[in-house]
Structure 1
Amino acid sequence: MQEGAGEERVRTLTPFDLADALRPLTVTLRSIRSRLGEEAVHGLPEPLVVGGMPGWTPATALTGGAGMPALFATAHRRWGAAPHAAATLSWKSYCYWVAMPAVLSWAVARRVPLVSADNMLVRFSGAPGEALVQVGLRDVQLAVLPDDPLAQSPHPGVTVVGDEALLLKTLRTGLLDQHLDPLTERIREHVKVGRRTLLGSIASGIAYALVRGGPDVPGNVTDSAHTVLGALDLADLVDLVPGHAGETDVQRRTCCLAFTLPQPKVCSGCCLR
């Protein structure tokens, strides 16, 4: 009887149940859209899991190098950017969208979706008003803490880690070690740009994602950002400072090279200001 009950439990854990595990993140993204507009989240599709859908390219095509020309060409068409600027600006956008679901899900629910290159899909757009790059998950793979209700799930997509430190380590492994770090090397094979400049865009992407999460992030947003940036050894690349009306501003210590565009742009948090 008990064995049969166990089998029934496995059978009833459907893909929809796992997709529902992302509900805290989905609700947060919808709140950001409501407060800040579509552009604030348009690099992430809804639903976030796009595995099996047409028109998406594995992110491993980028980390392997084959997909890099398409990413740079999209940035060149969008802004008329020189090769090094096209690389750094497309990278800045890419980092933000890849980091956003991981750090926001950690902040609001202590659930970390795996954003390694082999679990993410991408697509590019040079059209004005659309995200330069969109990223989605191939499948729902989550790391959770022992007290999370999902910790009792028998599904192989759910991994239970022992404590907060291990959860942050899992975030770092998926986001940096298995995705963005290899991608920095591919970029530097194509253009001459410093590693610190590229890391600065990862740090600012993480900080901006949490700041834009705003009221949906429990506790102090600045503390959350410092926690994640410290765990990823990126804390010395951005400053979080008080802004207008009690908001938090992100100040970079590196430049994304937007000022080199044919129509120069100096970002709000640029170190050149």
Structure 2
Amino acid sequence: MFGTSTELPGLAPDLLVTDTTGWTPTAALAGDALDTLLASSGRRWQAQPHAAAAMAWKAYTYWLTLPAVLGWASARRVPLLTGTDTLMHFDDPRPLVTLGMRDDITVAVLPEDPLALRGLKQVRVVTDEAALLEELRRSLLDEHLTPMLDAIHSRVRLGKRTLLGSLASGVAYAVIRSADVLPGSSAESIATLLTALGVDDLIELVPGRNGKLDVQRKTCCLAFTLPKPKVCMGCCIKQG
């Protein structure tokens, strides 16, 4: 899915971090490390604090969710991206932050998955599809993003719905941009994932160019407030 020949700014090469020197658990973003992220976002986009937080969240949640979303959609294998098993650094100036996973991160799978039979300590076998999606939600949202969201609220006035709209949009775009290599219906995969995360009311899927789906947001990421305003393709303010 990701390959090894093409580096994706925002993610560690091969996704896994074998040498954790210089890396920090992303759980720190529920504390003082959030100030570093927000300050970096403010400088990058010359944004006011609330817009910097919205843009930082949008970028962060897209790269964070990508391995879990595509792991589920392609193979029903979900790396459990808790704040302790996901790592970050700010050393690469190209992305806002670079994310990776510990090399022993737990991966949730279904009983029929070949990994379920190998007795690996980092493999968690769950009973069914519903349980797999619950593991995705628990690790990604409840144990990772919700504490970070609460920390953002302690620093800037920014609505929860605005931030979760970017999460929903990022999940949808991850599936749409990988549709050519994913099995099944993109629309069904997106609906299932967004329902599991409780954000299915924050976007709509609409016909896009070349017969592909596109995303219509119901909230705004505030990019239009930047010194060089940007109106994203699926921005809700276009409807006005």
TM-score normalised by the shorter chain: which range applies? over 0.9
Q: Secondary structure at the match of 2:43?
A: helix
Q: Does the aligned pair in 2 maintain the 1:75–1:126 contact within 8 Å?
A: no
Gaps of 5+ in 1: 1-27
1:135 aligns with 2:99: yes
Aligned residues: 237
Query: Which whole-Å deviations, capped at 9, do the CAs of 1:99-155 have from their partners, x for residues lacking one?
Result: 11001000000000010111101123683xx21122110233100000000001222
1:252 aligns with 2:217: yes
**Structure 2 length as normaliser, TM-score?**
0.94
**1:89 equivalent among 41, 51, 55:** 55
1:30 aligns with 2:3: yes
Aligned position for 1:50: 17
Give the residue type in structure 2 aligned to 1:54: T
Q: Computing the radius of gyration over CA atoms, which structure comes out larger, 1 or 2?
A: 1
Aligned position for 1:10: none
Q: Does the aligned pair in 1 maintain the 2:78–2:109 contact within 8 Å?
A: yes
Q: Does the aligned pair in 2 maintain the 1:146–1:161 contact within 8 Å?
A: yes
**2:121 equivalent among 156, 172, 176:** 156
Query: Which whole-Å deviations, capped at 9, do the CAs of 1:7-55 have from their partners, x for residues lacking one?
Result: xxxxxxxxxxxxxxxxxxxxx1239x97xxx6xx421121211153332
**CA–CA separation in structure 2 for the residues paired with 1:29 and 1:243:** 24
Aligned position for 1:74: 40
Gaps of 5+ in 2: none
**1:243 equivalent among 208, 219, 238:** 208
Aligned position for 1:117: 83
Q: Secondary structure at the match of 2:205?
A: strand
**CA–CA separation in structure 2 for the residues paired with 1:234 and 1:257:** 19
RMSD over aligned CA atoms reads: 1.6
Q: Secondary structure at the match of 2:190?
A: helix
Q: Secondary structure at the match of 2:2?
A: helix
Q: Which structure shows the higher strand fraction? A: 2
**CA–CA separation in structure 2 for the residues paired with 1:257 and 1:124:** 23
**Structure 1 length as normaliser, TM-score?**
0.83
Distance 1:51 1:66, change over 3 A: farther
Give the residue type in structure 2 aligned to 1:76: G
Q: Which structure shows the higher helix fraction? A: 1
Aligned position for 2:28: 61
1:172 aligns with 2:142: no
Q: Runs ≥4 in structure 1, deviation > 4 angstroms? A: none
